[in-house]
Structure 1
């Protein structure tokens, strides 16, 4: 790539954009399976390549992976700062009516809203969710520009996730079944089901939580079995089983084993 770029700047930017997208996908995948440090390395490389690509959409997409990685390592304030800065890069493209820019803008605000919620900053989280809500309303549909899956339904899923991080467990249990997710990408459906199962588990509704996780596993076995959140949930249910049921069901024995939560 370096040899070609010396002769053709446009080709160099194209290759840099491709590198940024690949490292973005790598970073988000690594963060979901608990490899926080590796996720940050991949996100840094995505952002370095995006700088060379000199495209606001590429830059914003790479920054989105950066927010994932920063959240994974607990750097909530840095995730907020990066997400808000990247959202501003997209304003000119949004003004031109680019739905991809609007989708990335909305997703950046959703990620930063979750960052604020995990930092227990309810006011900031609500403000950022309001920005994302307006973007979702402006887009009008649940689309998948730049693999964002952004739209009104995805906003509601992040609202539930933020509420869960803020401790509003009862609200999540009441509202989650009302959100239609069947038209969203499988990854978003599974993340929603994991959040719902986590809320159910926190209220010791373990039978419902188990069935929810089994439904998620049917949609994407890899995401469920490599999720650190799922491991924590099933480990808690597994430990509670003797006190609540007197015995462990075969399903409750099998799922923790598949997830590597128990030995």
Structure 2
């Protein structure tokens, strides 16, 4: 009973995105369903979507809500909970220790709960979310799970779980049963994650609040790794607000205290320093400071010789590939679009396990093409970014990029670009 407004092409695209987000091949999905790979290929191209039996099997295998494939009416806006990202159930990471999922009734309510969790005093989350296990191992696992949600761009789930996690960490701190510096380190990481999420959503005001809490807890922890990570997100907030000179100074001051003896440092220490240096690359390139950009890149490459953390379940994401990605981004920010595309080309064939980083590569490629007026190539790059991390493409910065590209297509020679922009909710 597929609804008429669900076009075969749209259904095929939903199936393709669900498969890609789960990092499964057409052959893998086909084998699980007992089909030949060509069956999945045909469905993703919009052919054969009138077979309800096949669509039901596909929906069950990939965790796609039936209404996304026209198998059921769309839920009423009054009863729909927060939409699953592109119809994909996030089964992989929910088992990683996140047990305090708040049942917020709307995106606005979810955002309010997160902001409330950042305020001093009792949090709404503490009253509305059942308390989960508060031993240090459970709390550490939950903090790590939120980092994985961020790396895999599952921002909807992340925004739901952060208030409960922060509330439980703060309650555990008040209980006094767990070592205070340890809890401060976990709280700082949770606040860092909240800052990064809020910046993705262009909520700079709340990001300032979150990063202030992160810095305070980082100093209480006395852990240089946690402090470096908090300085990194504070630098991000500064750069986003165009305080690039202050951001560069902050990175340089902190990195000078942490650099050196890389062959004797732990992976976490090296990753924290490396990511801090990469934030310096971003800040200095946005400020047009080529000399500082080159200095930070050189030092980051030196750190990357000693550490590789490039999996979605890693504590942080730092490696030589990530350094190369930031070099591409810096070239785009400096207006060197041709050089950026040259630097990006070999990376498109390199395995990048972290979806957020894969999407970033294609977004920067799209920006470079856009700078050169290659709107068709820019559109294709954005589609690649969407296939890597659908929610990431729906954040404000990318939506504005798509709208700008569509607006510059005055003769509407790229109808697919206009449809894409309209689908993101920002028609030119």
Q: Distance in 1 between matches of 2:340 and 2:225?
A: 33
Contact 1:190 1:220 in 2 (8 A): yes
- Which is further off, 217-226 or 236-245? 236-245
Aligned to 1:165: 333
1:1-263 pair list within 5 angstroms:
8=176, 11-91=179-259, 94=262, 96-139=264-307, 141-143=308-310, 147-179=315-347, 180-228=349-397, 230-243=398-411, 245=413, 248-249=414-415, 251-262=416-427
Q: Distance in 2 between matches of 1:90 and 1:226?
A: 33
Query: 1:2 offset after TM fit, Å?
Result: 7.1
Q: Distance in 2 between matches of 1:99 and 1:148?
A: 10
Q: Distance in 2 between matches of 1:166 and 1:153?
A: 20
Query: 1:81 offset after TM fit, Å?
Result: 2.2
Q: Distance in 2 between matches of 1:257 and 1:11?
A: 51
Q: Distance in 2 between matches of 1:61 and 1:258?
A: 35
Secondary structure of 2:187's aligned partner: helix
Q: Distance in 1 between matches of 2:345 and 2:288?
A: 25
Classify 1:129/1:8 alpha carbon distance in 2 versus 1 (closer, same or farther; 3 Å): same
Classify 1:6/1:35 alpha carbon distance in 2 versus 1 (closer, same or farther; 3 Å): closer
Larger Rg: 1 or 2?
A: 2
Q: Distance in 2 between matches of 1:7 and 1:185?
A: 36
Which string of whole-angstrom CA distances, capped at 9 and with x for unpartnered residues, describes residues 63-100 of structure 1? 11111111111111221122223324434884633111
Cα RMSD of the aligned pairs, angstroms, is: 2.4
Contact 2:309 2:316 in 1 (8 A): no
Could you tell me the TM-score, scaled by structure 1's length?
0.88
Contact 1:117 1:125 in 2 (8 A): yes
Contact 1:142 1:152 in 2 (8 A): no
Q: From the two aligned structures, give the one with the greater helix fraction.
A: 1
Contact 1:4 1:12 in 2 (8 A): no
Q: Distance in 1 between matches of 2:227 and 2:314?
A: 12
| Uncovered stretches (5+) of structure 1, i.e. residues with no partner | none
Contact 1:110 1:132 in 2 (8 A): yes
Query: 1:22 offset after TM fit, Å?
Result: 0.8
Query: 1:193 offset after TM fit, Å?
Result: 0.9
Q: Distance in 2 between matches of 1:3 and 1:204?
A: 53
Could you tell me the TM-score, scaled by structure 2's length?
0.56
